[in-house]
Amino acid sequence: MGKIAGRVLLIAIVLVVGLLLVFVAIEKARGAAANRIVGGQAEVEVCFTPEMPCEGRIVELVDQAQKEALVMAYTFTSKPVLDALLRAQGRGVRIEVILDASQASNRSSVLLALQMARIPLWLDQSVRIMHNKVLILDRERVVTGSYNLTKSAAESNAENLIVLTGSDQLVAAYVRNFDRRKKAADRVEAKKAVKR
């Protein structure tokens, strides 16, 4: 192979590698853009503990739900939120809950109460920690933030809660994530109440 042919081959290889890098960058940008929500102004409400009654606000929002409540929680021990979900279920609201797998061994968890109420329930152990704290209500409102559904979050931790309303795109992104987590998680069977 002559000097000129070698240089032409080197230039061709550099061009192909360069085009591949450009293609990878474009695909990466497309992926990032898929998670960017543009338009559809969302109304944003914030709540901060321990100064503000965030648990009460969650209960209020669940009590307003009319069709559906989708819940993802890392830790869920809050009796007031559990009671609100049970009231919603009694009104015919469809409830689904995904918990981190650690909740199976947390004696304070509401897992057993959810099972006894026959609320569809999944434990996510497909990731090291399922650290989401999200409620999707009637596919119209998303409640999220650092706030775990616990007494500590309500009374003694410094937590934040964000309520997002009015953006169909935003809610749809959270629903898609809920569906992905549910697909990756293990379904937990309902328990029957023992009569004594």
The catalytic residues are 131, 133, 138
Q: Which of 44, 84, 83 is nearest to 62 (CA)?
A: 84
And the tokens for 189? 């069977």
| Cβ 171 vs Cβ 165: under 8 Å | no
| Cβ 162 vs Cβ 96: under 8 Å | no
Query: Looking at 50-191, which runs of residues are DSSP E strands?
Result: 68-73, 94-100, 121-124, 133-137, 141-145, 159-165, 186-188
